[in-house]
């Protein structure tokens, strides 16, 4: 069956360290993958998109990698801050031309302690 999985346990790290979140998928061949941030009581907010022909994408302190062989994306936040505490969701297109539809992982909760 098709699955998209993120770290199920919350990730707790110290301020200043690098946070690494994992998104694994099976039985999909996505052309792109997106990452979103969700704060409690709010809707998800788009952060980054990476395409299948891109190995790595950066935006300020954020870095995303996409390994289509391993079927995995890694999301890194460098020099993490308490304000980075949130739930992070990965999402991929299910392929076969579904015009903008996304499949979301269940999210990983990140807590950055001062």
Partner 1 sequence: DVKVTQSSRYLVKRTGEKVFLECVQDMDHENMFWYRQDPGLGLRLIYFSYDVKMKEKGDIPEGYSVSREKKERFSLILESASTNQTSMYLCASSRQGQSRAQHFGDGTRLSIL
Binding residues vs partner 1 (CB under 8 A): 31-32, 34, 41-46, 49, 51, 89, 91, 93, 97, 99-107
Rounded to a whole number of angstroms, the minimum distance from the CB of residue 41 to partner 1 is 7
CB of 5 or CB of 20, closer to partner 1: 5
Look-up of token digits 């098709």:
2
Q: CA 41: distance to chain centroid?
A: 19
Distance separating alpha carbons of residues 60 and 41, to the nearest angstrom: 26
Rounded to a whole number of angstroms, the minimum distance from the CB of residue 85 to partner 1 is 18
CB of 46 or CB of 81, closer to partner 1: 46
Q: What is the DSSP string of 37-94?
A: EE-TTS--EEEEEEETT-SEEEETTEEEEEETTTTEEEEEESS--GGG-EEEEEEE--
CB of 15 or CB of 54, closer to partner 1: 54
CB of 97 or CB of 114, closer to partner 1: 97
Rounded to a whole number of angstroms, the minimum distance from the CB of residue 2 to partner 1 is 11
């Amino acid at each position: 069956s098709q699955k998209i999985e993120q770290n199920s346990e919350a990730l707790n790290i110290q301020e200043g360290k690098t946070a690494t979140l994992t998104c694994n998928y099976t039985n999909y061949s996505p052309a792109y993958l997106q990452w979103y941030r969700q704060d409690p009581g709010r809707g998800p907010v788009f952060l980054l998109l990476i395409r299948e022909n891109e190995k790595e994408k950066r935006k300020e302190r954020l870095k995303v990698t996409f390994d289509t062989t391993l079927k995995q994306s890694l999301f890194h936040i460098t020099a993490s801050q308490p304000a980075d505490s949130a739930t992070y969701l990965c999402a991929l297109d299910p392929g076969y031309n579904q015009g903008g539809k996304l499949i979301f992982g269940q999210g990983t909760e990140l807590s950055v302690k001062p």
